[in-house]
Amino acid sequence: MGLAPRPDATSVSFDPPSQEGWITTRLDMLVNWGRAGSLWPMPFGTACCAIEFMASAASRFDLARFGMERMSFSPRQADVLICAGRVPFKLAPVIRRIYQQMPQPKWVISMGACASSGGMFDNYAVVQGIDTIIPVDVYVPGCPPRPEGLMYGIMMLQEKVKRERMSDTTLRDEMEPDPSSNLYIRPSLIDEISEPFGNSVHQTRSGL
């Protein structure tokens, strides 16, 4: 209801004009089926979204149905980084390091308004969206999102995983941050998207 229909990711179409062979597409399907069905999350919970995430993992909503019951608290055995909650600037290098320590293939779910955009915390201490630090695959809106919302995001990620093709050579490229600024997105763009109301320097509201 209200959502645009998405192409069916469970069926792989054989496209003779493309370079992919029948065997490759079938193998893709098998590998992607295996990956999508056993995503191991690395929970990065910093705020109330983490409570909803715990509820999703508990028996009523039961993430185990998605093959995700094994929370990986070591990034080296994780597939999905689920960032649940606001990320202060002090944690920015930590989440960047955790992302870099995860082996490929890896995906990121940004759970909740604060992780996706800074949410209501438009202040000096909070990162305005973790996509300014690490690449994000799925954004789950909500403050915090209910477990159903997170599961919808997880299912979207599963469909994204199922659509991956081995013939795509750029799929597993690690993004290299810009060496001068250490950012993935160029600084002017970050300023543009994170400051809809003008330069922060002019945001003094105390009248002093």
Partner 1 sequence: MSETFAVIHAGHAAPGSSAPATQRKVAHRGGARNPSAERIAERFAHYFVRAEVIWGDTNVYLKPEGVLEVVRYLHDDAAEQYDYLVDVTAVEYRDLELPVEMVWHLRSIPYRRFVRLKSPLPKGQPLRVPSVWPVYMSADWLERECYDMFGIVFEGHPDLRRILMWEQYKEGYPLRKDFPLRGRFSRAEQLRQALTQNPEAKYSMEELSIADAFEDLPRDMRQRLAGGERTGE
Identify the residue among 76, 89, 171, 172 touching partner 1 (CB under 8 A): 89
Does 74 bind partner 1 (CB under 8 A)? Our answer is no
Smallest distance, Å, CB 201 to partner 1? 6
Taking CB under 8 A as the criterion, the residue among 122, 137, 159, 164 binding partner 1 is: 122
User: Count of residues binding partner 1 (CB under 8 A)?
Assistant: 34
Backbone torsions φ then ψ of 138, nearest 5 degrees: -130, 130
Residue 196 found at the interface with partner 1 (CB under 8 A): no
User: 121 is written with which tokens?
Assistant: 């915390």
**Phi, psi values for residue 140, rounded to 5°:** -110, 115
Work out whether 47 is an interface residue with partner 1 (CB under 8 A).
Answer: no
Of 143, 183, 119, 158, nearest to 41 by C-alpha is: 158
Return the number of the residue (10 or 74) whose C-beta is nearest partner 1: 74
- Stretch binding partner 1 (CB under 8 A), from 9-17, 37-45, 128-136, 157-165: 128-136
Contact between 199 and partner 1 by CB under 8 A: the answer reads: yes
DSSP string, 11-49: SPPP-TTSS--HHHHHHHHHHHHHHHTTPPEEEEE-SHH
Structural contact between residues 150 and 53, judged by C-beta atoms closer than 8 angstroms: yes
Q: Which is nearer to partner 1, 77 or 200 (CB)?
A: 200
Sheet of 80-84, strands arranged across: 41-45, 80-84, 107-111, 138-140
Burial (Cβ within 10 Å: 0-12, 13-18, ≥19) of residue 9: middle
From candidates 39, 50, 133, 161, binder to partner 1 by CB under 8 A: 133
Q: Per rule CB under 8 A, is residue 206 in the interface with partner 1?
A: yes
Task: Output 14 or 89, the one with its CB closest to partner 1.
Answer: 89
Q: How far apart are CA 204 and CA 200, in angstroms?
A: 8
Question: What residues make contact with partner 1 under the rule CB under 8 A?
Answer: 89-90, 92-94, 96-97, 122-125, 127-128, 132-133, 181-183, 187-188, 190-191, 194-195, 199-208
